[in-house]
Chains A and B, each alone.
Chain A
Amino acid sequence: MTQTNRLDGGQIDRNTSLSFRFDGRNLTAHSGDTLASALLANDVRLIGRSFKYHRPRGLLTAGSEEPNGMVELRTGARKEPNTRATTIEMFDGLEAYSQNRWPSLKFDALAVNDMFSNFLSAGFYYKTFMWPAAFWEKLYEPIIRRAAGLGSLSMEADPDEYDKGFRHCDLLIIGAGPAGLMAALTAGRAGADVILADEDFALGGRLNSETFTVGDHSASDWATQAVAELSSMPNVCLMPRTTVIGAFDHGIYGAVERTGDHLATLPEGKPRQILWRIYTQKALLCAGATERPIAFENNDRPGIMMASALRTYANRFAVTASQRVAIFTNNDDGHRTAADLHAKGVRIAAVVDVREDAPSSYDYEVLKGAQVTNTKGRHGLSFVEVSLPDGSTRTLDCGALGVSGGWNPNVHLTCHQRGRPVWNEALAAFVPGGELPVGMSVAGAANGIMSTYGALQSGAEGAAKALDLTDALPDLPEAEDAPIAQTPFWYVQGCKRAWVDQQNDVTVKDVKLSYQEGFRSVEHLKRYTTLGMATDQGKTSNITGLAIMAEVAGKSIPEVGTTIFRPPYTPVPIATFAGRMKGQEFHPTRLTPSHFWAKERGAVFVEVGNWLRAQWFPQPGETHWRESVDREVRQTRASVGVCDCTTLGKIDVQGTDAAEFLNRIYANGFAKLAVGKTRYGLMLREDGMVMDDGTAARLAEDHFVVTTTTANAVSVYRHMEFVRQCLCPDMDVQLISTTEGWAQYAVAGPNARKLLQKIVDPEFDISNEAFPFMACGNVTVCGGLRARLFRISFSGELAYEIAVPSRYGDALMRRLMAEGEEFDVVPYGTEALGVMRVEKGHAAGSELNGTTTALNLGLGKMVSKKKDSIGSILSEREALVEPDGLRLVGIKPLEAENKITAGGHLMNADGPVDAAHDQGYVTSAVYSPILNSNIGLGLVKNGSERLGEKMRLVSPLTNLTVEVELVSAHFVDPEGERLRA
């Protein structure tokens, strides 16, 4: 027999039968159920084991505040631990498992923890596992991890997709209960752009859980009609299944929409969840209130639930937790549950009301001035013990006990900008107060307005006020408007183990102990006992903990203070924050113009920032990358090689003050650079360190093309705009990046000119005489295509860089390869590029490491003293111009085959090897196939004066010592004859 606890009525679709499995048992449910309601319908009360003591636990609530009813949902890679059964929308084929139990839910070996509870009290981590220290990592922690815990991870990658999105509105309404719906109707009818978000799949909030009427309709019918009207408004965006998780600066809200969690399988390409960033003019928090429990002896048995949850299960889901129910309350709301359940045919064992003056009922017994003192039942509640005002006790047979200790407004989002709630004595609860996030106001129960009519009214007024509406408010329907007075009753005196925070197994005693041991601030209490931590963040426990603390301290609750809340409101999968930015899409990928060609050639690619660059081009038969790289270097130096250098930043600098501007940003001078010439430029930071280097080609009096390193293209452009706008606001200079616009290839080697003469149209003379080293200009290629030619060299060879519009880059590369066949042309990648620049002694990223000056790099003379340039003044600081400072040198091992290690440090040939005697370090190391030796570049104290000196290169981490000699950094062609050939 299934669904034995199903009642009549409700808002489920009885025509749709869904099957699901819990711990391997096949069960059935209806569309409109949550996993929680379906489990109750099937008389499943025991759902999990508690965190610390492994006590049997069931559901406490019917909403997202649930501390206990957590399961592992789905299987395989999609398994999700710690999922609240109360928020899981039922679908056909759902599979869920109880967690934190072994070997089975009903018999859990670690339930033995419960017997040792005296040792596991507040702060047990800190007390028990203090020493010996070495035991922590190896012994204590693994045991605790296994014993205490929640669900387990699948250990597989999440196969689902997650999106991010952005929405804008005039008014964001958070929560679609009576206040939220009325606010949305008011704002929507006035024409405002409204977003109405609610975490539930059914909009209506508590209207769906109550039996009273709104206007002429049942509460849920009124909600349905309101939703229908809102759906018809183009200016209103309804977002069910959407939790607003945080209120951020300046009216920005984070929201998680669960677009796929209620589906058995996601359609291909559809996101499971969407993380929305909602930009609002105003926001109205209509988050309602959460019922709070009363703590008493053994109040954590499955079947003991919030009274309002029992009402929700009965009215909305047509389910009762048991056929015989008792109520324990300190307020009238508990009686509503009794009345509603009674009307549905559920036996009411009694209503236990702590108030002497509690209302009576003809339908069931009310025990006035009574308290629940204990409960019994191994895997679920079977009876409760009640003490009566005359001192006698009663035992009530019941399978469920509804507890109501009053209501706490859901103030969470009001705290996200450090707003502190204030204590409201009449409600005996915290209500929003202090400074709310900019643009936020609060309506309904979240603002302490507990009646339905009050919620409708404050929703309408809240919307009108937020939007400055001048029209009359819409007519409000008649609705329940009972006054609320709450006399707090936090816990039953004299109990030994009464749970305050069921999720973290924190008892009344733990809270008191914490105080006695000196953890008296609320924040300390939280951390010492773990009260209010983990997935529920204490939604049902924080205030009770605080109240007990206040009692022990002999203070009022507001004197003790309150913890405030931070985002997210409810747990969010990490994957939702990642969105699409994972794997290959973690960052955008930039492809060079020759990428598709290089891929065809079988190039091995390397990530350089976001760029993918060809690292080398393996040939058939080459088994080690060094073979490819050595060949590329040899062939380039012997004949000609081609390398895609598009990734270098290119910035167009124009204007009548362009030359003056370059004088400012570069340490060396540019004013006198002739049109048609290129110059190496050294850029300093204002603190005198080298920022970047590159070239500037003067294409006209008022037009330069500046290049930057690949890595610094973005930051150099930003810096140039800073100088232009903030330091030289009246210079006539205009900047724009052209990095992407031109496919630029280095053509290097003794045959570079011969190859280019076959490409560049014959009317352009690129002979050494007409187009010497450092020349530049516009040319045409291949019969008329506009192109730019620069005679610059990074490799130290006779070299050019040729640029064409990017769309022709692929074709130009193929043409260069075809025309270069007679010269045995070789494409080379970034490795060969790196080898050749080290051979030539050119500084690059490893040397421009943010700690080096021009002087360090042997470029000190480039820093002009005759003009105002960024960094020139501070580069003169004493410590930076010490004669004993670091200088760039070449490093060669005495034995050619001995490897040089970048990052290794240089020590004198004799003497101690320690930091105090450090002489410098290696910045770059490569194997030079030209010198048949490992070589490197390094920065050595006074290095330029120590060429020829033998030193020790050490790397203590890798236990390496290599004898090396300091040499000129220019290993190849020190006189520069090749590049001028």
Chain B
Amino acid sequence: MIINHPLLGPRDASEFTYLGDASLIDRPDWQDENAAEAYYEYGYLRDNPAGEHQELWYHEAGDRSWLVVTRNTLTHEISKVEMARDVARARGRSK
């Protein structure tokens, strides 16, 4: 596969390491009163869509950036690639 890196352009997927569902960005608040339940869900529950899937890839043999890749699990079509840091900020992870 080819991942179109937002900074570097198209790069072979073999340069990347796959982590999993991009929901891993949404780490719960440790001080929440339901933290235990929230972390359980965060750690163990995933959707397994047959279709578009947002997932985390790490450019290990490249610039070491984490990316959020929107990939169709049926066709491997990649419709969007974003810097994970930007996604994290957009999801309110700024301190």
Would A and B touch once assembled, by the CB under 8 A criterion? yes
Binding site for B on A (CB under 8 A): 249-252, 277, 279, 438, 686-687, 714, 718, 721-722, 725-731, 868, 872-874, 876-877
Smallest beta-carbon distance B38→chain A, Å = 8
A726 to B42, CA, bound (A): 14
Give the 7 A-B residue pairs with the shortest CB-CB distance, closest first.
A250-B2, A729-B88, A868-B30, A249-B1, A730-B94, A873-B39, A725-B85
A727-B30 in contact given A249-B1, A718-B58, A874-B39 (Cβ < 8 Å): no
Nearest CB on A from B21, distance (A): 12
Interface centre among A686, A714, A726, A872 (most CB of B within 10 A): A726
Min CB distance A780 to B, Å, is: 32
- Indicate if the CB atoms of B35 and A873 lie closer than 8 Å: yes
Q: Which residues of chain A come closer than 8 Å to B30, judged between CB atoms?
A: 868, 872-873
A sample of 22 inter-chain contacts (CB < 8 A) reads A249-B13, A251-B2, A252-B2, A279-B12, A686-B39, A686-B43, A721-B66, A722-B66, A726-B25, A726-B84, A727-B25, A727-B27, A727-B88, A728-B93, A728-B95, A729-B86, A729-B94, A730-B94, A731-B95, A873-B35, A873-B36, A874-B43
Given the complex, which residues of A lie within 8 Å of B39, measured CB to CB?
686, 873-874
Q: Does B17 contact A (CB under 8 A)?
A: yes
- Give the contacting residue for B66; candidates A725, A868, A873; CB below 8 A: A725
Candidates A722, A731, A872, A877; contact of B19 at CB < 8 Å:
A722
Q: Which residues of A contact B94 (CB under 8 A)?
A: 729-730
| With A686-B39, A729-B85, A729-B88: A721-B58 Cβ-Cβ less than 8 Å | yes
Residue from B12, B31, B66, B78 with most neighbouring chain A CB atoms (10 Å): B66
Which residues in window 26-85 of B have CB below 8 A to A?
Answer: 27-28, 30-31, 35-36, 39-40, 42-43, 56, 58, 60, 64-66, 76-78, 83-85
**Nearest A residue (CB) for B36:** A873
Q: Which residue of A lies closest to B65 (CB)?
A: A725
Q: A718 is contacted by which of B28, B60, B83 (Cβ under 8 Å)?
A: B60
Tell me the bound Cα distance from A24 to B35 in angstroms. Answer: 79
Q: Does the CB pair A727–B60 fall under 8 Å?
A: no
A730 cross-chain contacts in B, Cβ below 8 A: 89, 93-95
CA distance A714 to B17 in the complex (A): 11
Please, which residues of chain A bring their CB within 8 A of the CB of B64? 721
Residues of B within 8 A of A687 (CB): 43
Shortest CB–CB separation between residue A794 and chain B, in angstroms? 29
Decide: A722 and B58 in contact? CB cutoff 8 A. Answer: yes
Contacts of B40 in A (CB 8 A): 874, 877
Assuming the contacts A718-B58, A726-B24, A730-B89, asked whether A249 and B95 have C-beta atoms less than 8 A apart, the reply is no
Q: Point out the residues of chain A lying under 8 angstroms from B89, CB to CB.
A: 729-730
How far, in whole Å, are A872 and B84 apart by their CA atoms in the complex? 24
Q: Evaluate whether A729 and B93 lie within 8 angstroms (CB atoms) in the complex, with A250-B76, A686-B39, A686-B43 already known.
A: yes
CB distance from B84 to the nearest CB of A (A): 5
Find the B residue at minimum CB distance from A168: B10
Query: Complex: how many Å from CA A872 to CA B43?
Result: 12
Per the bound structure, the CA–CA distance linking A277 and B2 in Å amounts to 12
Point out the residues of chain A lying under 8 angstroms from B93, CB to CB.
726-730
Cα of A252 to Cα of B39 in the assembled complex, Å: 40
Question: A873-B39, A874-B40 are contacts. A250–B66 as well, Cβ < 8 Å?
Answer: no
CA distance A687 to B94 in the complex (A): 23
**B43–A279 touching, CB < 8 Å:** no
List of A residues within 8 angstroms of B1 by Cβ = 249-250, 252
Contact yes or no, A279 B2, CB < 8 A = yes
Q: Are B2 and A876 in contact (CB under 8 A)?
A: no
| Contact residues in B for A874 (Cβ distance below 8 Å) | 36, 39-40, 43
- A251 to B65: give the CA distance in the assembly, Å: 24
Bound Cα distance A277, B13 (Å): 13
The docked-state distance in angstroms from the alpha carbon of A503 to that of B89 is 61
A884 → B minimal CB distance (Å): 21
Question: Is the Cβ of A718 less than 8 Å from the Cβ of B43?
Answer: no
**A868 to B94 CA separation, bound complex (whole angstroms):** 15
Closest chain-B Cβ to A873's Cβ sits at a distance in Å of 4
CA distance A726 to B66 in the complex (A): 7
A279–B1 Cα distance when bound, in Å, is 10
B83 cross-chain contacts in A, Cβ below 8 A: 725
Q: Which residues of B contact A686 (CB under 8 A)?
A: 27, 39, 42-43
- In the complex, the chain A residue whose C-beta lies closest to that of B24 is A726
Question: Within 8 Å CB of B76, what residues of A?
Answer: 249-250
In the complex, A877→B37 CA distance in Å? 10
When chains A and B are docked, how far (Å) is the Cα of A249 from the Cα of B71?
12
Closest to A723 in B: B27
Q: Which of B2, B40, B83 has the most CB of A within 10 A?
A: B2
Cα of A250 to Cα of B10 in the assembled complex, Å: 10
Give every chain A residue within 8 A of B36 (Cβ-Cβ): 873-874, 876-877
| B59 (CB) vs chain A CBs: closest residue | A721
B59 to chain A, nearest CB (A): 10
The chain A residue with its CB closest to the CB of B64 is A721
Contacting residues, chain B, for A868 (C-beta < 8 A): 30-31
List 7 extra interface pairs beyond A718-B60, A721-B58, A725-B88, CB under 8 A. A249-B2, A277-B12, A722-B58, A728-B93, A731-B95, A868-B30, A872-B30
Q: Could you tell me the distance between the alpha carbons of A240 and B60 in the complex, rounded to whole angstroms?
A: 35
Complexed CA–CA distance, A85 and B95 (Å): 69
Q: Are A718 and B25 in contact (CB under 8 A)?
A: no
Nearest opposing residue in chain B for A730, CB measure: B94
Closest to A657 in B: B95
Docked Cα-Cα span, A686 to B30, in Å, equals 12
Nearest CB in chain B to that of A735: its residue: B64
From residue A879, how far is it (CB to closest CB) to chain B in Å? Answer: 12
Cβ of A731: which chain B residues have Cβ within 8 Å of it?
Answer: 95
Residue on B with the closest CB to A874? B39
**Which A residues touch B35, using CB under 8 A?**
873
CB-CB under 8 A from B43, the residues of chain A are 686-687, 874
Chain B proximity of A653: nearest CB distance (Å):
14
Cβ-closest chain B residue relative to A865 = B30
Q: State the CA gap A721–B42 with chains docked (Å).
A: 19
Contacts of A250 in B (CB 8 A): 1-2, 76, 78
**In the complex, A876 Cα to B89 Cα: how many Å?**
29
Shortest beta-carbon distance, A635 to chain B, in Å?
Answer: 41
| A873: B residues at CB distance < 8 A | 28, 30, 35-36, 39
* B66 neighbours in A (Cβ, 8 Å): 721-722, 725-726
In the assembly, what is the distance between CA of A252 and CA of B11, in Å?
11
Q: Which of A438, A721, A731, A873 has the largest count of B CB atoms less than 10 A from its CB?
A: A873
Contacts of B12 in A (CB 8 A): 252, 277, 279
Q: Of B27, B40, B86, B89, which is in contact with the most chain A CB atoms at under 10 Å from its CB?
A: B27
Distance in angstroms between the alpha carbons of A310 and B42 in the assembled complex: 67
Q: How far, in whole Å, are A876 and B40 apart by their CA atoms in the complex?
A: 11
Chain A residues with CB under 8 A of B31: 868
| Complex-state Cα separation, A252 to B17, whole angstroms | 19
Chain A nearest CB: distance from B81 CB in Å? 12
Residues of chain B contacted by A729 (CB below 8 angstroms): 85-86, 88-89, 93-94
- Give the CA-CA distance A251 to B83 in the complex, in Å: 24
Q: How far is the CB of A560 from chain B (nearest CB, A)?
A: 26
| Chain A residues with CB under 8 A of B95 | 728, 730-731
Identity of the chain A residue whose Cβ is nearest the Cβ of B2 in the assembled complex: A250
| CB nearest neighbor in A for B56 | A726
Minimum C-beta distance from B22 to chain A (A) = 9
Distance (Å) between the CB of A417 and the closest chain B CB?
8
* Distance (whole angstroms) from the CB of A252 to the closest CB of chain B: 7
Within the assembled complex, what's the spacing in Å between the Cα atoms of A889 and B27? 35
Given the complex, which residues of A lie within 8 Å of B10, measured CB to CB? 279
Min CB distance, B95 to chain A, in Å? 5
Question: Taking the nearest CB of chain B, how far is it from the CB of A689, in angstroms?
Answer: 11
B89 smallest CB distance to A (angstroms): 5
Q: Decide: B17 and A718 in contact? CB cutoff 8 A.
A: yes
The interface residues of chain B lying within 8 Å CB-to-CB of A249 are: 1-2, 13, 76
A256 to chain B, nearest CB (A): 19
With a cutoff of 8 Å between Cβ atoms, the chain A residues found around residue B17 in the complex are 718
Query: Considering only CB atoms, which chain B residue lies closest to A714 in the complex?
Result: B60
Known pairs A873-B30, A873-B39; A726 contacts B85 (CB<8 A)? yes
